Amino acid sequence: MEHGQYAVDLLTETDPLRALQMAQEIDDFNLSRRELDASITREALYQVEQRGEKEAFSTVVYDESWHKGVIGIVASRLIETYYRPTLVFTKSGSKLAASARSVKGFDVYQALHECEQHIEQFGGHKYAAGLTLLPENYEKFKECFEEVVKRSLDSTALIPQILIDRKVDLSELDSRFYRILSQFGPFGPGNMKPVFMASGLRDNGFGKKVGKEGAHLKLSLISGSNFKTIDAIGFNLGDKLEMVHNGQPFKAVFTLESNTWNGNTRLQLNLKDIQPDV
């Protein structure tokens, strides 16, 4: 939304009052970004529905008013609804600019290469890319990209998958476990955080939706006869609250994190998905 220099200036500021003011400004920028990316995502989803493209092999959407600084985030958001290669376009000067995001097993950079006759410039890698093209070439590019995806992507690749590294019991997840786990870091592409699964979980009765419009799920989990709780947050899982009501058992896939709030540090599960434990 704004230049990265704001963050650099904050980190090098020596006046505490000025630093506090700068931090508030950055927080305001971040709030605006979240509101904007949520708004654009809703508009993009509506566009897909209105154009009858819910069953397409790719998602390609465009609006000249969309903010260039958030279209990459929006592309990732759209994949959460329609799990398929996605491009989000906006106007940039006299051209259209897009951010592309892909799904596991599909090389979006190669797909762009196969449509380069309609593109001015493009760059990136297998799972994320950017490009520009002339407005008059948008529809031709969109048709080409859909055809390339349809021809080269196995339909099974359009089914979201979460790869699980190990099944665990909640009783195993303590500070020592987390300390050992942290030694495998730093985590990122090529060395992603381990993903765990646990079953027989129950919410302690205080589960609730949080965030704007209740998009996220916040739980305190217990397992078996051990009533020691562990916090859990599931981003964009708010619609699954009913699944955990009334002590219904469920299983969850998650990464393990450390969360500090009001000076207290506790372990927290970052939920990737939950399903009934039947």
pLDDT higher than threshold 90 for residue 138: yes
Helix (H, G, I), strand (E, B) or coil at 253: strand
Residues 97-115: tens digit of each pLDDT? 999 999 988 999 999 999 9
pLDDT higher than threshold 70 for residue 139: yes
Round the average pLDDT of the chain to a whole number and report it: 89
Percent helix, strand and coil across the chain, each rounded to 5? 40, 30, 30
Please report which confidence band the pLDDT of residue 189 belongs to, taking 50, 70 and 90 as the band edges. low
Which pLDDT score is estimated for 2? 62
Which pLDDT score is estimated for 254? 94
Q: Tell me the whole-structure pTM to 2 decimals.
A: 0.68
Please report which confidence band the pLDDT of residue 66 belongs to, taking 50, 70 and 90 as the band edges. very high
Largest CA distance in the chain: 65
Mean pLDDT computed over 179-188: 86
pLDDT higher than threshold 70 for residue 63: yes
Which pLDDT score is estimated for 131? 97
Residues 195-251: tens digit of each pLDDT? 999 999 998 888 899 887 788 899 999 887 766 789 999 988 888 998 888 788 999
Domains and CATH numbers, the chain: 5-158 (3.10.310.30), 166-276 (2.40.50.460)
Which pLDDT score is estimated for 120? 95
Please report which confidence band the pLDDT of residue 17 belongs to, taking 50, 70 and 90 as the band edges. very high
pLDDT higher than threshold 80 for residue 274: yes
pLDDT higher than threshold 90 for residue 5: no
Which pLDDT score is estimated for 150? 93
Residues 141-169: tens digit of each pLDDT? 999 999 999 998 877 777 777 889 999 99
Residues 6+ apart with CB under 8 A from 168: 196, 197, 198
Which pLDDT score is estimated for 34? 77
Which pLDDT score is estimated for 226? 66
- Smallest CA-to-CA distance from 220 within 246, 197, 242, 201 is with 201
The answer to whether the CB of 68 falls within 8 A of the CB of 90 is yes
